[in-house]
Structure 1
């Protein structure tokens, strides 16, 4: 055996450098730390830092810019920095560009933001070491359909969306699920968003006889619709999706009782208070780093540990299914009370 080959074999058998010199293994955090999505990236970083146990791991943050170019750059930087496992990625383009490089560097990824199910399918076809704690792309539609199915089955229900591509797609997915059960909405309609008045829509809802409405739009749009409906004597029960939590505007104010179905963790914090560490993407990032630290401590190959292990997190026990997804951020109902959304079992 040559001297070079002998040295190589000894290094492989010894394991990574961090195991030899006592330095904790490195977790790479991929987040948009510049550009229009920076605020979301900062949430991710805050949650990651909150979960870190410096005796078990160290963090290194990388700016992927939510772009394909940034994703490829970050993956190369992680490889060169000796990162053992990556957590983060909020944008599909960045994750998609990073995965081939991270695969070749045998760096597994815990995705906390990208919901596209097609990427999980590439775990099999392209051997991507990808695991996901973000909800799936169909989970919001399934949760809203389940809400209607379980709570409003005997009611006259309308489905209204804001005309955006996202709104139309979500509405179609909800309809498909309910129509497969033989359920049909009494009204299907749309509206122009960001209008100061929505009396025309309110009158169409009143004429249809509908009393319960799934409204897919922003918080301010929903507030205007409900306000104008009340002005013509129509008392509506309303449920919406995660868009209701994305906006912090308070005018016009939502009336009490509006329900948002979301996988959010931080919905209950009062707007007057400082944002919690777990705001937005901080919560899934915290869980991702908790899982990453446990996997690193197992002493087993990371891919094997992620595929077959169970992980105790601040959200409970997490397990990844055969598709690489962990159902640890379930959708639940939040009800608007006063100035914030509260989990329904708390308010």
Structure 2
């Protein structure tokens, strides 16, 4: 079964790479909105997000956050008198699907991309948008692999894996954890975050007592849970997604693990508690950026979001909202949708107000401050709420 999964995954990656090379070699940027830099008609913002597959819950969170920002921009007259439209495509958090969806956005003539949730699906789309001269404002995906790709038009709104790992280590030290562990699912985002945390922990004098990589999509992780319980680390950092995370948290507790079970931002969703079950999340905390319900004075924004979406916001609603605002500011400052001018304008942004705090991009086009806090699960609702802002 595992061998079959690996073969399927390799085939998917190979297909994705082939599509990327075809696009990079043949498109020449002619289909991209950024390349044509039209000065009339609506400005099209493209969004790739998961609307199917295991991460589909996040798609609507991102779409409606982006749509709220677009509505607000259009209500104020648009950008230099031009209305803004959101063009959405499903990437299913899958590399092959994402490549096809990115090509479709290029064909549809989007001027700028404001999507990207799973790093493994976002990474192969970067050369596609770059070849088409379409700038990318990535709201959620934050693997260091995205930074290492060094695409000149790609900017991250979310803090990097390095910054998130720093916050996890800071909390471990704050609670006096001396031994730590990591479990990941081998995806680009999860493996990168786990590796960064281990590296920083070891440099800080922490002992990495255990590390493991699991196969996503399975239901029995009792072997890893038993090994974790036997290693007895003070804190384990699960860096994958909530489907497997909830199961591992439950099975680890059943195996006798009593330490802190920390999760990365890919697991911060109410479904984690639903999967783990009642009584299995008392020791669970997570690294995440603050959501509107954690912020003072956000009532009006929450009400506006509910009016657009017909539901409560979730993880990455605010980041997607801010991605649109950042994109709009870049286009406005550039006075054009021209790729080079927009990239220059985005690079020059300084202390732009976002939910995560003032945004200034580093030379690597990442946020200068990660904005990560520690969250915990409210036993009454299953939702993650603020535990520690790491300021004290």
**TM (normalized to structure 2)?**
0.64
1:13-59 per-position Cα deviation (integer Å, ceiling 9, x unaligned):
xx9533xxxx6x51412224764365433322211111122122412
Q: What SS does structure 2 have at the residue aligned with 1:261?
A: strand
Q: What SS does structure 2 have at the residue aligned with 1:115?
A: coil
Contact residue 137 and residue 157 of structure 2 kept, 8 A: yes
Counterpart of 2:364 in structure 1 is 323
Give yes or no for the alignment of 1:252 onto 2:274: no
Counterpart of 1:143 in structure 2 is 167
Counterpart of 1:285 in structure 2 is 320
Alignment of 1:76-115 (within 5 A): 76-78=107-109, 83=111, 85-90=112-117, 91-101=122-132, 103=133, 107-115=134-142
**Residues 108, 42 of structure 1: alpha-carbon distance in 2 compared, 3 angstrom cutoff:** same
**Residues 294, 119 of structure 1: alpha-carbon distance in 2 compared, 3 angstrom cutoff:** same
**Residues 122, 93 of structure 1: alpha-carbon distance in 2 compared, 3 angstrom cutoff:** closer
Greater fraction helix: 2
Counterpart of 1:134 in structure 2 is 158
Contact residue 180 and residue 207 of structure 2 kept, 8 A: no
Give yes or no for the alignment of 1:165 onto 2:165: no
Instruction: State the shift of 1:118 in Å.
Output: 4.4
Q: Distance in 1 between matches of 2:203 and 2:107?
A: 46
Instruction: State the shift of 1:305 in Å.
Output: 1.8
Instruction: State the shift of 1:237 in Å.
Output: 3.5
Q: Distance in 2 between matches of 1:345 and 1:144?
A: 11
Counterpart of 2:235 in structure 1 is 213
Contact residue 52 and residue 90 of structure 2 kept, 8 A: no
Contact residue 258 and residue 335 of structure 1 kept, 8 A: yes
Q: Distance in 1 between matches of 2:293 and 2:227?
A: 28
Moved more, 166-175 or 193-202: 193-202
Q: Distance in 1 between matches of 2:180 and 2:227?
A: 12
**Residues 93, 191 of structure 1: alpha-carbon distance in 2 compared, 3 angstrom cutoff:** closer
1:101-127 per-position Cα deviation (integer Å, ceiling 9, x unaligned):
1x2xxx42212233344444555xx6x
**TM (normalized to structure 1)?**
0.71
Q: Distance in 1 between matches of 2:213 and 2:154?
A: 39
Structure 1: 5+ residue stretches without partners: 1-14
Counterpart of 2:253 in structure 1 is 226
Instruction: State the shift of 1:133 in Å.
Output: 1.0
**Residues 39, 235 of structure 1: alpha-carbon distance in 2 compared, 3 angstrom cutoff:** closer
Q: What SS does structure 1 have at the residue aligned with 2:109?
A: helix
Q: Distance in 2 between matches of 1:239 and 1:72?
A: 37
Q: Distance in 2 between matches of 1:239 and 1:161?
A: 10
Q: Distance in 2 between matches of 1:118 and 1:169?
A: 8
Instruction: State the shift of 1:286 in Å.
Output: 0.2
Counterpart of 1:45 in structure 2 is 63
Instruction: State the shift of 1:134 in Å.
Output: 2.8
Contact residue 143 and residue 192 of structure 2 kept, 8 A: no
Moved more, 283-292 or 40-49: 40-49
| Residues paired across the two proteins, number | 300
Counterpart of 1:309 in structure 2 is 349
Counterpart of 1:29 in structure 2 is 46
**Residues 203, 287 of structure 1: alpha-carbon distance in 2 compared, 3 angstrom cutoff:** closer
1:69-127 per-position Cα deviation (integer Å, ceiling 9, x unaligned):
32123123225xxx3x33223322233322211x2xxx42212233344444555xx6x
Q: Distance in 2 between matches of 1:225 and 1:157?
A: 17
Structure 2: 5+ residue stretches without partners: 1-36, 92-96, 239-243, 296-305, 336-340
Contact residue 48 and residue 102 of structure 2 kept, 8 A: no
Quote the RMSD (CA, aligned, Å): 3.6
Find the structure with the greater CA-based Rg.
1
